[in-house]
Amino acid sequence: MPSGSAAVGWTAVVLAVLALATVVAFWSGLPPILAAGAALLGWAQRGSRRGQVALTLGTLALIADVLVYLGDRTSLY
């Protein structure tokens, strides 16, 4: 495994954690951007544990963002 691969894996995990943390501020538009970056980098590193974690967390953050958005849209009207 090249040395750059570890950095990509950690970057993906950090993006995924940030995506999950910003779901509470879904209106900012950051969660889907961060989640997409995490999922993309996680997919590139899917052979490693970090890549699998990032892909899972990124997908979870994207789903959570959509659910929070839909919940907000339906509860206000």
Euclidean distance between the first and the last CA atom of the chain, given in angstroms as a whole number: 52
Number of domains in the chain: 1
- 65 is in which domain, residue-wise? 3-75
pLDDT in tens, 46-74: 999 999 999 999 999 999 999 998 888 88
pLDDT in tens, 15-41: 999 999 999 888 888 999 999 999 999
* Among the listed residues 20, 49, 24, 46, the one whose alpha carbon sits nearest the alpha carbon of residue 35: 20
